[in-house]
């Protein structure tokens, strides 16, 4: 193993998943109702049993450990814990205790997600996150978790706080299918409030727990926009989606509210969870960014989702977080949907090289979680996208360990990337032009 691509000691090598997407048989949340609407899910798929992780979690965790992973980002499903207003399901609390104990037994550091897109049906009927007063129900849920799970070392509060506002309240692709700029802004603010509520409540009961936000950061690409006004528009859209999160954590500012300052929100994250998948490139028509492409003009290679592959965007995002956030960084999601496993292998290596480069330049990145551990239900895309290191036969629930899982496991075992892997996948060495001595190449 070349020292050039070794990672820091005690680096976390894991994968990620969400409760609803892998557990199966959940009929108590807004996504179950959404799936019953004809035409909203690709191929008419319904989550149903999904990967049946709810029943197979112990064997899944054992398999991940055998693949040399030492961490897993997973979740607790709100609608299982609180299936009805003011009703706490003790059996489900016990189930998740078994899940967390199984993580420990398999030496997997658990990053436990509190909210990952789904809410109980009864809360959706009360207006969900569109009504600020409904945050009291989220606070109750967080208190239940804080009281019952003191053994959790790492909590993720809100997964991707911009996604539900954007896709559920502006584009109408997620429940509750609204299309309103006003609703988008209000829900985004309430997501950030919810994050702060979760942070404060967990810390109230378990001060030693590390609690952090998870933010998806598509890389807003400006290179091909030669006109300053186009660059300004792209920057403004980046600000509205990404920068507002840093302003909230650093200054207590709520999105789109001038002069706001909230002590509860300021400094409400012990670490920053960064999700990165792709670049975003805007096309302009009559001066308006009417189209959004997930690939750059020169890119021919895309993922199964049609997203472009741009590893450097992960490096750029990490360095931005380093500048804006003074704490540890975890890559909480980075992955690819593809039917070609060799493409997945190349994707992983190329992105890890960029993570290493960022660490070598001072970024405090302490872990990497590939999305996803298993093939799973990909929301409105149904079961077609294949993100998993471990493949799933949805009829038999049989697990298939892909070669990418083995390759990733070898990287985790060695805590580094061999130069042979770079050669195999024709990945450019980012150090070759600006580093000359072996000593300089060691983190």
Instruction: Evaluate if residue 439 carries a pLDDT over 60.
Output: no
Lowest mean pLDDT among 61-75, 232-246, 373-387: 232-246
Rounded Cα gap, residues 307 and 302, in angstroms = 5
Phi then psi dihedrals of residue 119, to 5 deg:
-130, 155
**Structural domain that includes position 257:** 3-441
What is the pLDDT at residue 106?
A: 98
**pLDDT tens readout for residues 366-411:** 999 999 999 999 999 999 999 999 999 999 999 999 999 999 999 9
Residue 391 half-sphere exposure, CB side, CA atoms within 13 Å?
15
Lowest mean pLDDT among 55-69, 169-183, 288-302, 345-359: 288-302
Residue 14 half-sphere exposure, CB side, CA atoms within 13 Å?
26
Rounded Cα gap, residues 400 and 403, in angstroms = 9
Q: Are 334 and 287 in contact (CB under 8 A)?
A: no
Give, in order, the Cα–Cα distances in Å from 321 to each of 217, 232, 325, 326: 10, 21, 5, 8
Provide, rounded to the nearest whole percent, the portion of the chain with pLDDT above 70: 95
Q: Which residue has the higher pLDDT, 288 or 103?
A: 103
Model confidence at 237, pLDDT cuts 50, 70, 90, reads confident
Compute the mean pLDDT over every residue in the chain, rounded to the nearest whole number: 93
Instruction: Evaluate if residue 65 carries a pLDDT over 80.
Output: yes
Rounded Cα gap, residues 203 and 158, in angstroms = 15
What is the pLDDT at residue 102?
A: 98
The strand pairing partners of 400, in sequence order, are 391
What is the pLDDT at residue 306?
A: 92
Rounded Cα gap, residues 249 and 247, in angstroms = 6
What is the pLDDT at residue 71?
A: 98
What is the pLDDT at residue 217?
A: 96
**pLDDT tens readout for residues 115-138:** 999 999 999 999 999 999 999 999
What is the pLDDT at residue 359?
A: 97
Query: What is the number of structural domains in the chain?
Result: 1
If we measure between CA atoms, which residue out of 196, 212, 96, 102 comes closest to residue 153? 212
Lowest mean pLDDT among 122-126, 288-292, 368-372, 417-421: 288-292
Rounded Cα gap, residues 123 and 134, in angstroms = 8
What is the pLDDT at residue 437?
A: 37
Q: For 167-176, what is the mean pLDDT?
A: 97
Task: Write the CATH number for 20.
Answer: 3.20.20.80
Rounded Cα gap, residues 180 and 185, in angstroms = 9
Instruction: Evaluate if residue 290 carries a pLDDT over 60.
Output: yes
Give, in order, the Cα–Cα distances in Å from 196 to each of 115, 131, 169, 251, 266: 13, 16, 21, 13, 8
Rounded Cα gap, residues 224 and 246, in angstroms = 26
Model confidence at 234, pLDDT cuts 50, 70, 90, reads confident
Q: Are 53 and 30 in contact (CB under 8 A)?
A: no
Q: Judge if pTM exceeds 0.85.
A: yes
Rounded Cα gap, residues 162 and 168, in angstroms = 10
Instruction: Evaluate if residue 224 carries a pLDDT over 90.
Output: no
Q: For 146-163, what is the mean pLDDT?
A: 98
Rounded Cα gap, residues 69 and 367, in angstroms = 11
Instruction: Evaluate if residue 149 carries a pLDDT over 80.
Output: yes
Q: For 325-334, what is the mean pLDDT?
A: 98
If we measure between CA atoms, which residue out of 15, 90, 113, 100 comes closest to residue 58? 100
């Amino acid at each position: 193993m070349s020292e050039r691509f070794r990672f820091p000691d005690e680096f976390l090598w894991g994968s990620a998943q969400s409760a609803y997407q892998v557990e199966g048989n959940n009929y108590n949340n807004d996504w179950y109702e959404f799936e019953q609407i004809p035409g909203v899910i690709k191929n008419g798929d319904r989550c149903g049993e999904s990967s049946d992780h709810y029943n197979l979690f112990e064997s899944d965790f054992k398999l991940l450990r055998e693949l040399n992973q030492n961490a897993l980002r997973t979740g607790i499903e709100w609608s299982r814990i609180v299936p009805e207003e003011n009703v706490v399901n003790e059996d489900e609390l016990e189930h998740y205790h078994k899940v967390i104990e199984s993580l420990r037994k398999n030496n997997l550091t658990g990053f436990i997600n509190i909210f990952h897109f789904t809410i109980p049906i009864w809360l959706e009927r009360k207006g969900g996150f569109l009504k600020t007063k409904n945050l009291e129900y989220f606070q109750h849920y967080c208190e239940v978790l804080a009281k019952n799970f003191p053994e959790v070392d790492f909590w993720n509060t809100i997964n991707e706080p911009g996604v539900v506002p954007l896709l559920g309240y502006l584009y109408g692709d997620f429940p509750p299918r609204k299309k309103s700029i006003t609703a988008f802004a209000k829900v985004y603010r309430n997501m950030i409030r919810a994050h702060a509520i979760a942070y404060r409540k967990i810390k109230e009961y378990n001060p030693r727990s590390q609690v952090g936000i998870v933010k998806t950061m598509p890389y807003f690409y400006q290179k091909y926009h030669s006109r300053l006004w186009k660059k300004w528009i792209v920057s403004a859209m980046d600000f509205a989606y990404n920068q507002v999160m840093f302003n909230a954590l650093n200054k207590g500012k709520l999105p789109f509210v001038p002069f706001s300052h909230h002590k509860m929100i300021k400094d409400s994250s012990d670490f920053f969870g960064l999700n990165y998948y792709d670049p975003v490139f805007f096309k302009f028509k009559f001066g308006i960014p009417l189209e959004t492409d997930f690939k750059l003009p020169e890119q021919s290679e895309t993922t199964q989702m049609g997203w472009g592959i741009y590893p450097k965007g992960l490096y750029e995002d990490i360095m931005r977080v380093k500048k804006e956030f003074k704490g540890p960084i975890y890559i909480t999601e980075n992955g690819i949907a593809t039917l070609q496993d060799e493409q997945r292998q190349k994707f992983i290596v190329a992105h890890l090289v960029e993570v290493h480069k960022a660490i070598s330049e001072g970024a405090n990145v302490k872990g990497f979680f590939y999305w996803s551990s298993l093939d799973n239900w990909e929301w409105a895309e149904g079961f077609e996208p294949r993100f998993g290191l471990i493949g799933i036969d949805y009829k038999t629930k049989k697990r298939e360990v892909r070669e990418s899982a083995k390759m990733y496991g070898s990287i985790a075992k060695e805590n580094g990337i061999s130069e042979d892997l770079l050669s195999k996948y024709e990945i450019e060495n980012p150090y070759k032009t600006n580093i000359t001595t072996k000593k300089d190449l060691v983190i």
